[in-house]
Structure 1
């Protein structure tokens, strides 16, 4: 396992585990971690062996959000605040744009920027014992537009208003009902369920998953009709090595080896 600016990395075959590693600080994320995240993700995306990324956390808390202890300095001037906000935005955008499937494994409370971090992942698993809260209204702050957009896409505008206006705690069960997460599992089963799901994804065509992730992202950005780009992505698959292997495996009645 390798430590990188408050992160810990572990590789298990095609699955990479990226852990928030500041348990003593409730995994609150300082500016240095936000700044390091895009480059770290670029390096992981370039690893041929990496086909699925699992975002998890050490300790009892998934993420308490941004590190409030830095606020006096990072919000000292409007210019400084803009640089800090850009660091967070760039980190979250890099996670959302990661070319392979990303899974958030939420084992403990997930608050503020922690929710934004989870929402930047493709699939979200949470222990049945955790709670979520989005609390800028308690600090006199505003949730960034890109984070509000991700939230509204998941839960809808009205429920996004409820969560942001009230800043209330939401149980994992309610989070599942709100579509804030995709799976709510027993705490004792979280690691096994996430690991099993990640293996399932890693056994499918990485090319197919990456292409479909791109298309879904375009839908999320408002595209609702075919374009030359969408047609080309669809057509390219038929001349790929993965399609040849998948098709032959189907005829041979065996699992494909992508």
Structure 2
């Protein structure tokens, strides 16, 4: 255990990024945003880590930005720029993390917390989850990168609804509009996440990296193959994972990708 407000917990073949301010519903303060890129870099360069979970300690994912810091963080244009850049660096680092990421959501997932969840590849939530993106309640704008991630998940119409109204939606509606991928009863969430994690860990890490890179390029506007995407495809045929995968297929057994990093 640690008292750090955000930390990385390593397991056998995956890691969990834990938001650790449960008495404040894991509100994201400046120290947490500042720490996020280095923690993610540590996980990205550790070949033992194949999947990253992101979750909050206690009963909430995160209630969003720590508004108690706003008076100092946004006191001047210079401090506001520095604070905004730190948040963007954290969210972008998570969005560009090279391995699969899964947000595990209970309770509040609001504001910057929803932005954090949208920076993950997948979002599994308990049915008690509450979601909202609330700059319109504070007289604030919303960044282009964050808005694009929201639109990519729910579409333009639903994004406008969420942003203009700043309303909270329950987990059922979040599932319907594509804000989350799966919804489970609170006492089933951890078991379902563990089962899905086992499924991801049984697949090729090399495949996941290449697939994630191609998806990122498509979301960035690339609409036809490039030299990079062609090479990713060709390189996969030379990989140890492909050798294992096709031999397992011929042998009619499950492939063992445990050695891939």
Task: Tell me which interval the TM-score lies in, with the shorter structure as reference length.
Answer: over 0.9
Q: Distance in 2 between matches of 1:212 and 1:157?
A: 25
Deviations 1:130-164 (A, max 9, x none): 11111111111112211111001111111111000
Q: In the alignment, is the contact (CA less than 8 A) between 1:2 and 1:9 conserved in 2?
A: no
Structure 1 counterpart of 2:68: 69
Structure 2 counterpart of 1:102: 101
Q: In the alignment, is the contact (CA less than 8 A) between 1:2 and 1:10 conserved in 2?
A: no
Shift of 1:2: 5.1
Structure 1 counterpart of 2:117: 118
Q: Distance in 2 between matches of 1:249 and 1:170?
A: 45
Structure 2 counterpart of 1:200: 199
Structure 1 counterpart of 2:213: 214
Q: In the alignment, is the contact (CA less than 8 A) between 2:7 and 2:39 conserved in 1?
A: no
Deviations 1:70-120 (A, max 9, x none): 101110111110110000000000011111100000011111000000000
Q: Distance in 2 between matches of 1:111 and 1:223?
A: 31
Q: In the alignment, is the contact (CA less than 8 A) between 1:19 and 1:58 conserved in 2?
A: yes
Q: Please list every run of at least 4 consecutive aligned residues from structure 1 whose deviation after the TM superposition is greater than 4 angstroms.
A: none
Q: In the alignment, is the contact (CA less than 8 A) between 2:6 and 2:35 conserved in 1?
A: no
Q: Distance in 1 between matches of 2:136 and 2:180?
A: 22
Shift of 1:125: 0.3
Deviates more, 1:87-96 or 1:135-144: 135-144
Shift of 1:9: 3.1
| Residue 157 of structure 1 pairs with residue 156 of structure 2 | yes
| Residue 230 of structure 1 pairs with residue 233 of structure 2 | no
Say which SS state the counterpart of residue 223 (structure 1) adopts.
Answer: coil
Task: Map 1:1-258; keep pairs closer than 5 Å.
Answer: 1=1, 5-258=4-257
Structure 1: tracts of 5 or more residues without a match: none
Deviates more, 1:14-23 or 1:82-91: 14-23
Shift of 1:10: 2.5
Say which SS state the counterpart of residue 64 (structure 2) adopts.
Answer: coil
Number of residue pairs matched? 257
Q: Distance in 1 between matches of 2:198 and 2:6?
A: 22
Aligned-residue CA RMSD in angstroms? 1.1
Say which SS state the counterpart of residue 128 (structure 2) adopts.
Answer: coil
Say which SS state the counterpart of residue 188 (structure 1) adopts.
Answer: coil
Say which SS state the counterpart of residue 69 (structure 1) adopts.
Answer: helix
TM-score normalised to structure 1 length: 0.97
Structure 2: tracts of 5 or more residues without a match: none
